[in-house]
Structure 1
Amino acid sequence: MKVFLFSKPFVIVATILFFQFCHTANSQFLESKIDSLLESKYRSTAPGAAFLVAKNGIPIYRKAFGKANLELNVPMRPENVFEIGSMTKQFTAIAILVLVEKGMLDLDDEILKFIPDYPSHGKKITIHHLLTHTSGIKNFTNMKALRDISKKDLTPLELIDFFKNEPMDFNPGEKFKYTNSGYFILGYIIESVSGITYKDYIEKNIFQKIGMESSLYASHSKVIKNRASGYHYRDDYINKMYISLTLPYASGSIMSTVDDLLKWQEALNQNVLVSQNTINKAYTNYTLNDGEYIDYGYGWHLKKINGVLSMEHGGSIFGFKSMGVYIPSEDVYVIGLSNCDCNSPTKITKEIAALVINEIYLNNGNKN
């Protein structure tokens, strides 16, 4: 019987090659599973989406599906620029926290400090209430009269005047109720304190600072390289309805790409914009007056995926939907951007995040 003896260097090299092979096989298996999910949801002949998955800040999946423009038959690419809707709220929240760090604001400041004639009905409505959707201020995007002004370009104060006299839904801090009105007011507060427009503040102090070169405050008239066209579905696909972008404003008027949104998440992780103590405030699960948790911080929903904490937020605006999920314990970020409000990426983005978590646990041998 022959006995084969291998040298120690040979064993080391063979072991390294084996683990590299396993890693490659696992990566290809994960990619194949994500492909299967997305190809079934976003058809090649329909409006599509761009998706990116990153681990430790490095993309491990980055693909696009469907069409960026149906009329010109242009395929979607990962570089395409989308309106991200309410994911804008993350940027507004961090902009507020930057001003707090600079000593220009306090989270306990009342809105009367910035809008003296706001009818608060004797109630103390603070910046904290606005950030956490616990202010009780009615959501202006649910008002029927909005259709009468939807195409008008309004100043922030003119839009605030539109909804400020509506009855409050509840006393500040009593309940959590998602409202765009609170983040709209936060945009005006940013302008009041900084002395420049919300658009200029975000572009100068966030986009330019962290190199988000394809991100901007949305515009209908500006020629935007790689812009994806937005669609609705009404028996067939139609071009998105026009609304003035002065309406979503600080609650939903940002455009971006999957690559830029990874830069955003990395800037937060590396404390480029605010300190760790400050970013922790954005990621805190706040409570109501009675101590009940609301599962929301400042601009982020705080949820769980497969029992693991996730920080997430979606967005919806005429013609577009978006979803971003960050898993801090695994440093995994998943972002999906769609150019039809008929085909939301919310559920599938969470499913992809769950897939990645499962693969990590399997590879580490500690799956529950």
Structure 2
Amino acid sequence: MLKLFISFTTILSFSILTAQEQTKTVMEPSAQIDQYLAEVVGKYNMPGISVAVIKNDKIIHRNNYGKANIEYDVPVSDKSIFRIYSLTKTIIVTGVFQLIEQNKLGLEDPISKYLPDLPATWNSVQIKHLVTHSSGLPDIVNYEQLPENEAREKVFADAIQFGKGEKYEYNQTNFWLLQKIIETVSKQNIETFIIENQFGDKTAANDVFFSTDSRDIFLNRVTPYDNFSGKIQIGLSNNGSYLSSCNGINITMDEFVKWDSKLNRNKLISEKSKNKMWELFQFSKTDHKFTFGWDERIINGHASYGFSGGRRAAYRNFPKDNLSIIFLANGIGSDANIEDIVNHIAYLVDNDIIDYGFAAYEALMKTAQENVSGLKNTFTTLKKDPKYSNVNFEEHLNRIGYILLYQYKKVPEAVSVFSLNAKEFPKSSNVYDSLGEAYEVNKDLKNALLSYTKAMELNTDAGYKEKINKKIIELKELSK
């Protein structure tokens, strides 16, 4: 079903959080960050992390936590190399703007100008559609285990998903093509181009390199871990070398800090280019907030730009606050949302950068864990408070419902949360198909059918209706 991404965040009491909004603690920010991240490693079963916080181009916090390798008890160190997965894309986009500054590339250029052997239906897609994930092209990630020539043939045969520029839809094909274009224009392979133009050709080969195969062995590279069936195990993902621009960069924290400094001092691209890169793209059929390759997040009036990768690497830049946060991890034992972790680090540096959405989620989650019957009262109190006027309560309740349903196996409680969500947001198809899913898990097929039917009635998307209708037919068969 259409699950919202489930994330487990630090559960702090609402009363403590409210007090933090009003007064700053006497503990220095770096000490607070140390204390918080030590808790993060244990609470979310993150084997190892490295974090740097830069304020006014000075490192105000830099530390390593946990293990680079559990089996051999190797601690994370300054030499540790982390694969940053899709966070790679921010560096690739910066490379695109470097080429734009050199008049070798233009955002309005059709991709067929550089790649002549594309399907005819792809030719009018422009560079800007690739960097904003609005191309509508089919996703090559479906074939990433195939050799490039086979994956290319299959994705070329797939149908266009939607009109270019209409909406944001994350897609690896976009950056696969960007890699081809960059290599064509620069006459260098992607690794050479990125390292020479953003890190310096004197950079040691062991400090920054491309590898999309986590089975590759490199000195000081951290061991990647994933949560499989509730148990943390080594995760050796292999995404295909031709997807290097999608998720292939491996880097030490020290090199990332240097890159951040160059970006902030306009040594990579000019201020004008950076402002363009961080300008919101106007999608024709959605108001999704995304720039030319970066997420825009505004936290209590503080604008920030960044991206994350593999649910374990994140970078966030608050330009007007002269604040940058780099978070690198080698795995997670639960579905922690690293964006929330980064938000809280920003708050510890500057208490005005408070994410009221995160605060509301924490308060709701704490109530749901202690006494789900009190959730309605907590919800009503928060909703009446003007500070929380922009909070997406529907999303938070859905997340909590799924946590109760699958993580804690509290099915009746999950049904209760989803029911509250449906009552409060009766025009949302998503809350009804989530409620239907909870009823289904609870083996209440009658109410599951009613909820799925309601969800289908509320959504006009043909693909969504088809998917929900299949579920309804399936449950009707089971009900006989």
Q: Sort the Cα spacing of 1:46 and 1:190 in 2 relative to 1 into closer, same or farther, 3 A.
A: closer
Letter in 2 for 1:86: S
Q: Tell me, which stretches of 5 or more residues in structure 2 are unaligned?
A: 1-23, 355-386, 388-480
Q: Is the 8 A contact 1:245 1:253 kept in 2?
A: no
TM-score (normalised: structure 2): 0.62
Distance 1:360 1:350, change over 3 A: closer
Q: Which residue of 1 aligns with 2:288?
A: 294
Q: Residue 125 and residue 341 in structure 1: after superposition, are their counterparts in 2 closer, same or farther (change >3 A)?
A: farther
Are 1:159 and 1:247, in contact at CA under 8 Å, matched by a contact in 2?
no
Question: What's the CA shift string for 1:61-102, capped at 9, x where partnerless?
Answer: 111111100111111124411000111111111111111111
Aligned to 1:365: none
Q: Which residue of 1 aligns with 2:274?
A: 279
* C-alpha separation in 2, matches of 1:27 and 1:100: 47
- From the superposition, tell whether residues 307 and 47 of structure 1 become closer, same or farther in structure 2 (CA, over 3 Å): same
Q: Structure 1 residue 211: deviation in Å? A: 5.5
1:262 and 2:261 aligned = no
Q: Tell me the C-alpha RMSD between the 2 structures.
A: 2.8
Residue equivalent to 2:63: 63
TM-score by length of 1: 0.80
Using the alignment, how far apart are the partners of 2:37 and 2:135 within structure 1? Answer: 38
CA contact (8 A) 1:322 1:338 kept: yes
Give the AA of the match of 1:82: F
Q: Which residue of 2 aligns with 1:41?
A: 40
Does the C-alpha gap of structure 1 residues 257 and 120 become closer, same or farther in structure 2, counting only changes over 3 Å?
A: farther
**Secondary structure of the equivalent of 1:280?**
helix
Counterpart of 1:208 in structure 2 is 200
Worse overlay, 25-34 or 307-316: 25-34
Identity value in percent: 27
**Unaligned 5+ runs, structure 1:** 1-24, 362-367
* Alpha-carbon separation, structure 2, partners of 1:301 and 1:48: 25
Cα distance in 1, alignment partners of residues 101 and 204 from structure 2 = 22
Q: 1:347 to 1:46 in 2, by over 3 A?
A: closer
Deviation at 1:201, TM superposition (A): 1.0
Deviation at 1:359, TM superposition (A): 6.8
Q: How does 1:1-368 map to 2 (within 5 A)?
A: 28-43=27-42, 47-121=47-121, 124-141=124-141, 143=142, 146=143, 150=145, 154-155=147-148, 159-208=151-200, 214-218=207-211, 224-234=218-228, 235-289=230-284, 293-316=287-310, 321-342=312-333, 344=336, 345-358=338-351
Aligned length: 326
Higher relative CO (Cα under 8 Å, sequence separation at least 6) belongs to 1
* Contact 1:285 1:293 (C-alpha < 8 Å) held by counterparts: no
What is the CA-CA distance between 1:124 and the residue it aligns to?
Answer: 2.1
Cα shift at 1:280 = 1.4
Which residue does the alignment assign to 1:19? none
When structure 1 is superposed on structure 2, of 324-333 and 217-226 the one drifting more is 217-226
Matched letter for residue 255 of structure 1: N
The answer to whether the 8 Å contact 2:111/2:123 transfers is no
SS at match of 1:248: helix
Q: Which structure has the highest helix share of the two? A: 2
Residue 269 of structure 1, CA deviation: 1.7
1:83 counterpart letter in structure 2 = R
The residue aligned with 1:3 is: none
> CA offset at residue 122 of structure 1?
7.0
More deviation in 61-70 or 342-351? 342-351
User: Matches of 1:163 and 1:122 in 2, distance apart?
Assistant: 11
Q: 1:90-116 CA distances to partner (integer Å, 9 max, x unpaired)? A: 111111111111121121111112222
- For the Cα contact (< 8 Å) 2:140–2:151, is it kept in 1? no
* CA 215–123 in structure 1, closer or farther in 2 if over 3 Å, else same: closer
- What amino acid is the match of 2:77? R
CA contact (8 A) 1:54 1:61 kept: yes
Change (3 A) 1:293 1:270: farther
Taking a change above 3 Å as real, the CA distance of residues 226 and 210 of structure 1, as seen in their structure-2 partners, is: same
Residue 299 to residue 136, structure 1, CA distance change in 2 (3 Å): same
